[in-house]
Amino acid sequence: MNTDKNTIIGFILLAGLFFTYFWYTNKQQTELTEYKKHFDDSVMMLKAEAAKAAAAKNPIISDTTKIGGATAAIIADSVQEQFTELENDLVKVKFSNKGGQVVGVTLKKYSNNQKQLVQLGDSSSLNYAVNIGENKTAQVNKVLFPTVNVLPTKEGIQKLEYVWTTPNGKVIRHLFTLSPNKYNVDWSIQLQGASSLFTNQQVNFLWDVHSYQQESTSVYERQMSNICFSEGNEFDYISSNTTHTFEKPVQWIGLVQQFFATSLIYKQGFVSGKVDWQRKIDSSNGLATMQSQLQTKLTGDNANIDFSLYYGPNDFQILKSQAPEMEKIVNLGRDLYSFVRPINKYILMPVFDFFAGFVKNFGWVIFLLTIFIRLVTSPLTYSSFLSSAKMKVLKPELDEIKKKLGDDQQGFAMEQMKLFREAGVNPLGGCIPALLQIPIFFALYSFFNSAIALRGQSFLWSHDLSSYDSIFTLPFTIPLGFGNHISLFTLLAVFTSFLMSIYNMAMTPTQDNPALKYMPYIFPFMLLFIFNGLPSALTWYYTVSNVITLLMQLVIQKVIINHDKILADIDVKRKTPKKKSNWQSKYEQMVDAQKKVQTLKDKTKK
């Protein structure tokens, strides 16, 4: 075993984890068409049955119309639909008296891939049924609220009120509040006569939400989309599953895309519920749909239900102020990779924000962050390079052993281990840099994919550090994650990785191993497919990290490390009596046993 063989082990482990992770995340793009059809058919059936039941029980429903193949009830009234807008410095919110609810939100500080302001909630609705008489019900999202009141503004706080008096004399008010510098809209449903409006005073809400493409590629944005929620005051999410039944109270739930979220917050907690969702699998700009069935219990005849609707960016600090654990919408590491979350939260994010405080271009912020990471890990890197230098010093002796033993690989391994032990060399030291990059890479992968600060930020030839940089678009798509474009930062990352492999080859004590011969080409080739669709922030980091590593190797090996002194130290250590470790003893026993078995096989063949 030598330094570069163990480095190869590190590279193989790294590559294996890379492919495992990307296979796990990319499989979300190939959801089953059968489930989509089953889900759509189920939804249509439920809508049709609800409309049919409402039409049979509710005399004020005088007309029906076909919507998407299902029968939808329309409340007959002389009142016409009208829209009202409230806005602050961050959002413009559009309301409708049909259902008395939000029908669209414009984010004034963010643009989409079409250079238009981001729109959220324009295809969403929150509905619930109320009793309006004996065996008569109405769906609130079909009701045209006749009274619309824009209340006086106080201290910048804007309020809008919708009022509907039901046929049985009960009053329903929808009061909306928009505060300055807030992305959320507070919604208070005020009920007079709740015991008559709802059977057993249980309110059944149906929240239907749709999300649409905002970034440069809908495929990658779909992959990043998921459902996040707080159940029993604990954060959870669903990404691969399409259905989840809540067994504990739900404090908030949201349809989350890569950089934006549409969330419903109810701090008292829905007592029960269920969520169905699916990613789109067509070529449209639709990303995902979510339909939530949520229940709450009322107390008293006059009751209030106080919601907060969040339409805004997945910004860690903003989400943290909305509801407990809502900042976990920002994916800093989950499930198998949850071990990188503390690295992101307590190290990378604070350092990134510190540099961003005085450096305006985020490309140079990433550059400084890379230098910081390399400085912090430099002691381990130096130890690894020192181990490589010792291995190089021992190369002549290893070559002699190889010449003496010829094709006896097991005998060579025994003598090599003996030489390493006598010289005080750690044969595993060379794989430290490769293994060290595993948690750092996955931490940065999560961070750069979810850092909204990088969205739309240009650097050099990259127009958006949160997405891949493309210098050429191909007329076809290459499979295995490569895509239909060529990323220059990816080419630079692959090229610098190739240079590192070539340099490490020069440091190898024995160069007749086929694995060593082809390693400089295999690993960079794999990186080409892994990196080409990743954010340019990550490939820029990897390029800078490789260049710094190469420079450190040259400086440490050529300037800092004294090879003559290393050789003298090795000679001293050889003369010092040593005790074998348990691991070394067991390893030598294992190799010796294998050698005896091989010798016996050779005699049997003869």
pLDDT in tens, 421-432: 666 666 665 566
pLDDT digits (tens, 9 = 90+) for 71-102: 223 344 467 889 999 999 999 999 999 999 99
527 phi/psi in degrees, rounded to 5: -60, -30
Closest CA to 490 of 525, 531, 452: 531
Helix (H) or strand (E) holding 309: strand 302-313
- pLDDT lower than 50: segments of the chain: 1-3, 28-39, 41-43, 45-77
Closest CA to 564 of 415, 392, 378, 398: 392
234 phi/psi in degrees, rounded to 5: -125, 135
Q: Residue 231: helix, strand or coil by DSSP? A: strand
Cβ atoms of 541 and 370 within 8 Å: the answer is yes
CA angle 553, 556, 558 (to 5 degrees): 95
Predicted pLDDT of residue 86: 93
Predicted pLDDT of residue 376: 85
Cβ atoms of 253 and 296 within 8 Å: the answer is no
Predicted pLDDT of residue 25: 54
pLDDT digits (tens, 9 = 90+) for 140-187: 999 999 988 888 888 889 999 999 999 988 999 999 999 999 999 999
* Structural domains in the chain, sorted by start: 3-25+339-450+486-573 (no CATH), 77-330 (2.70.98.90)
Amino acid at 410: Q
Question: Which residues face 101 on adjacent strands?
Answer: 96
Predicted pLDDT of residue 208: 92
Cβ atoms of 245 and 319 within 8 Å: the answer is no
Average pLDDT, the chain: 78
Residues sharing a CB contact under 8 Å with residue 138, sequence separation 6 or more, in sequence order = 54, 58, 60, 61, 75, 129, 130, 132, 166
Helix (H) or strand (E) holding 483: strand 483-486
Residues sharing a CB contact under 8 Å with residue 273, sequence separation 6 or more, in sequence order = 245, 246, 250, 292, 293, 294, 295
229 phi/psi in degrees, rounded to 5: -160, 165
Judged on CB neighbours under 10 Å (0-12, 13-18, 19+), 339 is exposed
Predicted pLDDT of residue 100: 93
Q: How many CB atoms lie within 10 A of CB 317?
A: 9
- In the block, tokens 């059968």 appear at 34
Amino acid at 192: Q
Torsion angle, CA of 346/351/352/356, rounded to 10 degrees? Answer: 140
Cα of first residue to Cα of last residue in the chain, in angstroms, is 30
Helix (H) or strand (E) holding 160: strand 157-165
HEC readout, 270-303: ECEEEEEEEECCCCCCEEEEEEEEEEEECCCCEE
Cβ atoms of 190 and 175 within 8 Å: the answer is yes
- In the block, tokens 């990323």 appear at 487
